[in-house]
Structure 1
Amino acid sequence: MKMLQRKGYLLLSGALLAGACQQPGGHSNPQATQDSLRNLATRYYNESMALNPLQATQNGENQYNDQLPIDISDSYRAKADSFYASYQQAIKGIDTAALSGNDRITYDMLQREFSINREGLTFHDNLMPVQQFTCLPLTLAQLGSGSSAQPFKTVKDYQNFMHRMERFAIWTDTAIANMRRGIATGYVLPQSLVVKVIPQVTDLAKKDTANNVFYAPLKTIPDSLDAATKAGLVKDYTASIENYILPSFAKLRDFMQKEYLPKARTSSGIGAIPDGKAFYAFLIKSWTTTDLTPEEIFALGEKEVARIRGEMEDVKNSTGFKGDLPAFFASVRTDKKLRIFKTPAAILDSFKAIEDKIMPGVKKMYGHLPKTKFEIRQTEAYRAASASAEYMQGSADGTRPGVFYVPILDATSFSYTGMECLFLHEAIPGHHFQISLQQENDSLPKFRRFSWIGAYGEGYALYCESLGKELGLYTDPYMYFGRLTDEIHRAIRLVVDVGMHTKGWTREQAIKYMMDNEPVSTQEATAEIERYMAIPGQALSYKIGELKIRGLRNQYTKSLGSRFSLSSFHDELLKDGCVPLSVLEQKMSRWAAAQP
């Protein structure tokens, strides 16, 4: 998965003016309309970076690196709503009939963004601002590690993050006040998630200069600074950690342990909170960019699980295994011959070997390759226990590489079976290609260069897993079984996510369903199911998007025949960046019609 970003909001002063696009007599001027839309898109991006300074930092827009909005406060959310409402009003001045294809994509995406962000603000997720998978305390720790998007190259860079640390103390007090309101009104996390948060915040509250990630930038202070400046910086930066970060995490630890955990809910799904069913319907719409109902998604998941199980039976039989599929799952989970590594370095080297093997084939499948550099790294220890493998985008200017993070808790228990498909998804030609090409395309409005739509982005990355055989991978039946395992995993998500959030399934029921249908350990299944509990609906986006992209490829392979070029199909698929699935369908139709 692409590393998830939190959203923050701030209202900027100043009226938004929808550019007039009418000539005298009321006829549209296409050039004026196009310019007006592009100006609006530019203004929206620039102001939304001030709204969302953490996202600005991720995007390499460094002018806001000292800011940390209290985006969970009611006043902040009210300002955000006004901000989106003013843009909704502004875009009404655009005459869509005068727009070209690419500008129409911009218009449709802006309109959707304003609408979906406003609708999201009507729910009360700000009363549950901390969980174990993605939340500001974890994002801040990553930024503060010195190995993420926050720069630590100058004295000003260090001062910027010191200001963010100071703001985090205010955010923490707001979060605790919000969670108390949540306790009073029924907006609380499930107990099993709170239990996972407590050790995370406990570790980050420790005055441990060797292991607490917030101290790491003190080890990389630039050598160019003179001794006095360096000493002053170390003193001030250490004081910021010890005055703001450690006490804030200690407050969170004490609150979560003593006050919040006893009041946490025993239910697993979001449907159990007030407005939970309506919130889940919104999250489905938001994450999948479709109007599918929970029932339709559940049925689709069951159908896909059955289909993939059939393929798994075939692979199992090809290995000569004599037992049934559950027995084969157990064998794959425990077979020592599938655990070939002794060190984390050996695992990272093995991923590098996959990259080297596939690149000649990738260059034939894609006409346009990204310029952004790429690295494979082990996930940092402070978050490895709750992390999945993930991709962190590079910077658009090329100064920061895209990074494929691999959590390795114990190298000797790391199975090789899923490595090839994992690399295709997270790295090349999956997230690294899609996100880098999008960011590098300066013909797109900036808000599109840095936008993320899970159904498209995760759907494309899952589609990339299916390219393995064409790229010379999956020759080992266990590696191909690993690919089917990953595919059924995404199909299982459609069943368990909907099961928990609308059908009253328990965490334990969902864990059992997952373990009955794929070879995962109890620990792995638990971490996955708890992730879906923490971010409802997000896990639906993968399979929904992949089925759309695979369907489009099959459709045009058939209809275009000898005129179908896979390289051209992939380049068209990626060139406009993340788009809603309905927009993707329309643009691929235009591409097919233009094929010689």
Structure 2
Amino acid sequence: MFKTAAKWIALALLTVLVIGGGLAAHEWYAKKPLFFRVFVDREMVKMAFDSPETLTSLGFLESLGVKGHNARLDDDSPAKADEMLERVSDIRATIMEYDDASLNESDRLSKEIALYLLDFAEESKPYRYHNYPVNQLFGIQNGYPSFMEAQHQVQSVEDAENYLARLNAVALKFEQNLEGIKLRTDRGIIPPRFVIERVLTEMNDFVATPAQDNILYTSLQTKLDETAEVTAQQRTELLAEAERRIRDSVYPAYQMLIDYFAGLRDVAGDDDGFWHLPQGEEAYALALKLFTTTDYSADQIHQLGLQEVARIQAEILEILTTQGYQTDAGFTPAIEALAADPRFYYEDNDAGRAEILKDYQAILDEIAAGLDDAFNIRPQAGMEVVRIPEFKEKTAPGAYYQQPAIDGSRPGRFFANLYDIKATPSYSMRTLAYHEGIPGHHFQIALGMEQEGLPFFRRMSPFTAYVEGWALYSEQLAWELGFQDNPFDNVGRLQAELFRAVRLVVDTGIHHQRWTRQEAIDYMRANTGMALSDVTAEIERYIVMPGQATAYKVGMMKILELRSKAQQQLGEQFDLRDFHDVVLQNGAVPLSILERLVDDYIEQKQAS
């Protein structure tokens, strides 16, 4: 399905560009095309074609022999960002010209979702610089090599030459990012000192690595080894050129950022929350609105978190008591005793880490074979478990999911962090696999991409409360379906939910209640029992991504609330598979819209 859809998209676009006449040309060039879906799809395609990195990630042009974009990187200049903001305003104005009465039901929903996104973009304009483009989690300094390693495919000499071109292009990309960072500095938007120290350590380690040991070199080397289209002589020449460009182009680009951040460290402070920035309180309130798709205040979210922490901890203690653990002294000693039990850990070596990856895959294969009673539809894209690249795993989260390529050339990937073996107790693995893989992110994201009846933007909508809420809901769903019948696996599930409840407390604590980084670390460590390395990475993530961590629990609770509502009102008519169809087949949506969709489903079911 992916390959067919991708070829249709590419061929349709190329046809429009080549023919240059008739209806096709009108629909491409008209300010307001005749059909609403044509307009929103056209704008998405235009944005994709304006982003070489997006085109590489989607991977749909390569099957047609179109590869020129793979030699370029995105334009990250502030001027380009200004241009994009103007385009957002123009798109919104055109969308408003489509009268609801002329649209079918699906297009009306698409219009509503598009306006939700565009209105938020307009509301966010005054706070466009309230972020840290270079940080320890997702900055350009680690995003660039990760992109080259994971996304840039090399199956020919041309592909390798495009890879080399991107090694040269990084200098301009870093200059553009630095221009934006300087604009933020002028506005008083400076990362906390610890963030600067983290990225300086990361970048200094990166440039201190011999070129032949750098991931940019070793990744190309591996890709060349895996293709028969490149001769031994060509391979030698290409790798020699890669070494030269890493040394002469890539490392100087990194050094430019190192020099700037070394100076910025001297003026940075130790206040970690957004509250310390100019208009920081307003920016944080907007971040909460973006990530939760609600109007919950920081105080509401904080109190909700405290209540959920108390409830979940009580459930965990009850299970541990039945399993013979001493719980009289309270939650922290009991959970620390569980965490210290050596029977739950793998060997701290390469063999142990390989076994973890193997067991993750077995967990996913098992649940994939047992979901017929819960799902009518499943994604066609496959998925695999891989390790987070070692060069960045020290500061990376415990796991993350990467969507499949739209043409089917790359499966969905569950990236597992194996840096600290103590952060992967066996009783937590099922829950993490269900969240990142099946039926969590992989089901929701891959299925969304495969819904050919939806506009492109709805197949990839960035509503975090929905996306992460579904993944957290999937953890509980797997337990309800019997895949965590071991009491310790259930403790792992509850610990994961507790983790998300704690996030409500610490995110709002840092950015609204003015907690320090250490206060947040202490609270999370005391109330989750997680490894200190994981806690530290998580808290530092919340500091550079305000509000995002609150989306998980808010989204999960809304999905559970809507399921309970449907069960109560439909009684014997309720079918879990149908409910999941409603949630998944419309793509990611704001929680308010999801509630209306479920209400419509209930009403239609009752009338049938």
TM-score of the aligned structures, taking structure 2 as reference length: 0.88
Alignment partner of 1:91 is 2:105? no
| 2:337 paired residue number | 331
**1:178-198 residue CA offsets vs partner (Å, 9 max, x unmatched):** 434444432111112222212
| 1:164 paired residue number | 166
Alignment partner of 1:52 is 2:51? yes
By how many angstroms is 1:460 displaced? 0.2
Q: Aligned with 1:571: secondary structure?
A: helix
Alignment partner of 1:580 is 2:590? yes
| 1:219 paired residue number | 222
| 2:364 paired residue number | 355
Q: Distance in 1 between matches of 2:515 and 2:446?
A: 39
**1:562-581 residue CA offsets vs partner (Å, 9 max, x unmatched):** 11111111122111111111
| 2:325 paired residue number | 321
**1:262-314 residue CA offsets vs partner (Å, 9 max, x unmatched):** 22221010111112111111211211111222122112112211221221221
Q: Is the 8 A contact 2:220 2:239 kept in 1?
A: no
Choose which of 461, 478, 482 in structure 2 pairs with 1:451. 461
Same amino acid, percent of matched pairs: 29
- Equivalent residue runs for 1:559-578 within 5 Å: 559-578=569-588
Q: Aligned with 1:390: secondary structure?
A: strand
- Equivalent residue runs for 1:112-127 within 5 Å: 112-125=116-129
| 1:422 paired residue number | 432
Q: Distance in 2 between matches of 1:490 and 1:546?
A: 10
CA 400–97 in structure 1, closer or farther in 2 if over 3 Å, else same? same
- Equivalent residue runs for 1:278-293 within 5 Å: 278-293=282-297
Q: Distance in 2 between matches of 1:231 and 1:251?
A: 30
- Equivalent residue runs for 1:85-484 within 5 Å: 85-125=89-129, 128-145=132-149, 148-215=150-217, 216-221=219-224, 222-227=227-232, 229-256=234-261, 258-323=262-327, 324-341=330-347, 343-388=352-397, 389-411=399-421, 414-484=424-494
Equivalent position amino acid for 1:218 in 2: Q
Alignment partner of 1:500 is 2:510? yes
Equivalent position amino acid for 1:60 in 2: G
Q: Aligned with 2:477: secondary structure?
A: coil
Gaps of 5+ in 2: 1-27, 62-66
Q: Distance in 1 between matches of 2:531 and 2:49?
A: 43
Q: Distance in 2 between matches of 1:297 and 1:410?
A: 31
CA 56–255 in structure 1, closer or farther in 2 if over 3 Å, else same? same
Q: Is the 8 A contact 1:207 1:242 kept in 2?
A: no
**1:235-258 residue CA offsets vs partner (Å, 9 max, x unmatched):** 4333332222111122223332x3
Q: Distance in 2 between matches of 1:200 and 1:377?
A: 22
Q: Is the 8 A contact 2:274 2:280 kept in 1?
A: yes
Equivalent position amino acid for 1:345 in 2: A
By how many angstroms is 1:120 displaced? 3.3
Q: Distance in 2 between matches of 1:346 and 1:338?
A: 13
Q: Distance in 2 between matches of 1:116 and 1:138?
A: 28
By how many angstroms is 1:157 displaced? 2.3
Q: Aligned with 2:213: secondary structure?
A: coil
By how many angstroms is 1:61 displaced? 4.3
| 1:9 paired residue number | none
Q: Distance in 1 between matches of 2:423 and 2:303?
A: 35
Equivalent position amino acid for 1:375 in 2: E
TM-score of the aligned structures, taking structure 1 as reference length: 0.90
Choose which of 44, 66, 69 in structure 1 pairs with 2:71. 66
Q: Distance in 1 between matches of 2:373 and 2:131?
A: 49
Q: Aligned with 1:520: secondary structure?
A: coil
Number of residue pairs matched by the alignment: 564
Alignment partner of 1:43 is 2:42? yes
Q: Is the 8 A contact 1:127 1:179 kept in 2?
A: no
Q: Distance in 2 between matches of 1:563 and 1:329?
A: 41
**1:194-217 residue CA offsets vs partner (Å, 9 max, x unmatched):** 222122212322352453111121
**1:317-368 residue CA offsets vs partner (Å, 9 max, x unmatched):** 2122223211112212322122144511111122122123323331221111
Q: Aligned with 2:133: secondary structure?
A: coil
By how many angstroms is 1:463 displaced? 0.2
Q: Is the 8 A contact 1:127 1:175 kept in 2?
A: no
Q: Distance in 1 between matches of 2:312 and 2:232?
A: 63
What's the RMSD between the two structures over aligned residues?
2.1
